[in-house]
């Protein structure tokens, strides 16, 4: 997992299941591009790495007009 992927995941986890706007995701992670599509692409790539189905996501959900949120259970494996 890249540093940018980890930063995005960390931002979603820290937000505790509340939706994060694309603007807020850019502020909390290393997704610095001004384009909203850069955030969408980063979320898509993170979903793939986590094994989340893009057509029916369980872990990272899209909240229409609000952004993205982590909705699945989080378990840490060291």
Class for domain 3-70, per CATH? mainly alpha
Helix (H) or strand (E) holding 8: helix 3-14
pLDDT tens-digit map of 46-69? 999 988 888 888 899 999 999 999
Q: How far is CA 55 from CA 27, 47, 58, 64, in A?
A: 27, 11, 10, 15
β-strand partners of 69: 61
Per-residue b or e along 1-28, where b marks 16 or more CB atoms closer than 10 Å to that residue's CB: eeeebebbbebbeebeeebbebebbbeb
pLDDT tens-digit map of 25-53? 888 766 555 677 888 888 999 999 988 88
How is residue 47 written in tokens?
């979903």
Which pLDDT score, from 0 to 100, does residue 32 have? 59
pLDDT band at 72 (very low <50, low <70, confident <90, very high): low
């Amino acid at each position: 997992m890249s540093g940018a992927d980890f930063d995005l995941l960390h931002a979603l986890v820290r937000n505790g299941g509340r939706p994060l706007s694309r603007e807020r995701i850019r502020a909390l992670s290393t997704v610095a591009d001004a384009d909203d599509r850069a955030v969408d692409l980063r979320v898509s790539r993170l979903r793939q790495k986590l094994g989340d189905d893009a057509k029916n996501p369980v872990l990272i959900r899209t909240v229409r007009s609000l952004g993205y949120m982590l909705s699945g259970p989080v378990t840490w494996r060291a």
